Amino acid sequence: MKEKGLLIVLSGPSGVGKGTVRKAIFSEPDKSFEYSISMTTRLPREGEVDGVDYFFKTREEFEALIEQGKLLEHAEFVGNYYGTPVDYVRETIEAGKDIFLEIEVEGAKQVREKFPDGLFIFLAPPSLSELENRIVNRGTDTEEVIQRRMKVAKEEIELMSLYDYVVENDSVERACEKVNCIIVAEHCRRERVEARYKKMLEAE
Ligand SMILES: Nc1ncnc2c1ncn2[C@@H]1O[C@H](COP(=O)(O)OP(=O)(O)OP(=O)(O)O)[C@@H](O)[C@H]1O
Ligand SMILES: Nc1nc2c(ncn2[C@@H]2O[C@H](COP(=O)(O)O)[C@@H](O)[C@H]2O)c(=O)[nH]1
């Protein structure tokens, strides 16, 4: 039987650096996992490309996808829908390849319910004031949206204990190294458990 791939979820509050860390991880050569491109109703930011950064959809299109069961999870975040196309995730895992999702906390909760044996990593900020600095300095949000993101962030940080690992994003380089190590360690752990069961079954 072909071994299934690992579902990896990187989540955490807005502005902590999920996108930055994910892009840095995927810019490394020889990555053995695939990235799940999300759907969103948010308008593209400058430089963002449809089908690369996101699949950009209208609200009507997005709601039709929800109705048709095409999304593994979805959430409304600061006025826009975001969701993970389910077919690509399932096909990748079935093909024995790992898939990497970078999503917000409500979506991660939904994925955990459907894939309890996935690998869930929470990216945490060094402090709340540093989180706010990062959102402000990114320069993509109005003061009102920044305050909404910070309010949600505080609620999300309380949920970090539900994750398998918490990685502090104090430096992008260190955070990437830790995420990569966690993925390698998780593979080793699963292989050992599987090997143990295989032996047990063969001995019967
Ligand atoms: N370790 C770090 N140290 C300092 N700045 C960082 C670090 N990681 C990311 N940043 C900066 O913080 C800002 C927010 O990062 P990013 O957009 O990747 O966050 P995010 O978690 O993906 O946000 P969102 O959930 O809103 O999409 C960016 O300007 C980025 O350059
Ligand atoms: N629940 C989901 N959240 C997602 C998905 N794709 C991205 N995201 C998260 O949304 C926020 C905002 O993103 P931005 O690009 O507008 O800054 C951020 O936390 C992303 O991680 C998804 O498919 N599902």
Residue-range domains of the chain with CATH:
7-36+98-203 (3.40.50.300)
Q: Is the CB of 186 under 6 A from ligand 2?
A: no
Shortest-distance Cα residue to atom 4 of ligand 2: 103
Select from 11, 36, 38 the residue to mutate for testing ligand 2; criterion: most ligand atoms less than 8 Å from CB: 38
pLDDT tens profile 168-178:
999 999 999 99
Q: Which atom of ligand 1 is nearest to the CA of 169?
A: 1
Strands 33-35 and 98-102: parallel
**ipTM > 0.95 (yes/no):** yes
Strands 55-56 and 39-40: parallel
Hey, how many other C-beta atoms are within 10 angstroms of the C-beta on 98?
19
Shortest-distance Cα residue to atom 25 of ligand 1: 14
What is the three-class DSSP state of 203? helix
d(CA 167, CA 24): 15
Q: Give the pair of three-digit tokens for residue 194.
A: 């599987």
pLDDT tens profile 38-80:
999 999 988 999 999 999 999 999 999 999 999 999 999 888 9
Hey, how many other C-beta atoms are within 10 angstroms of the C-beta on 76?
13
Residue 128 Cα to ligand 1 midpoint, Å, equals 13
